[in-house]
Amino acid sequence: MTSGPDVYCKICTQTTDIYKRETITDLDPSTLPRTFSSYLPVTLPYLNQKYLIMFYDYDGSYKSDTYINGFSFNPADLTSYPSGATYSGDEKLSVKINFEWE
């Protein structure tokens, strides 16, 4: 019997990691949806910039992790939403982002 994936979320730009801290170990699909909450909130440095949210299976070294799924977003596109938006990477991934405007 194998264990489930050890999933973590990474928020970054094309060149800089902004968030990569929490790992949900042995993720069981029956426990979905899950919430990443450690070390949050994250302050995004620029309003009009493309950010990536990507999910990986931690394999013992961040250099060898398996990419699961992800998507990109630009906070400037969200200014008409008061506190959150739901994104779908594809039919297998849906992410709700809660945010505050400063």
Tell me: the pLDDT tens digits for 81-97?
767 666 666 677 778 77
What's the total number of domains in the chain? Answer: 1
- In the DSSP assignment, the letter for residue 39 is T
Give the integer Cα–Cα distance in Å for 65 and 57: 6
- Cβ distance 1 to 23 under 8 Å? no
- Is residue 81 a part of any domain in this protein? yes
- Cβ distance 68 to 56 under 8 Å? yes
Q: Where are the beta strands (DSSP E) in 16-50?
A: 17-19, 23-24
- Is residue 100 a part of any domain in this protein? no
pLDDT in tens, 40-62: 888 888 889 999 999 999 987 76
Domain that holds residue 16: 7-95
- Cβ distance 29 to 68 under 8 Å? no
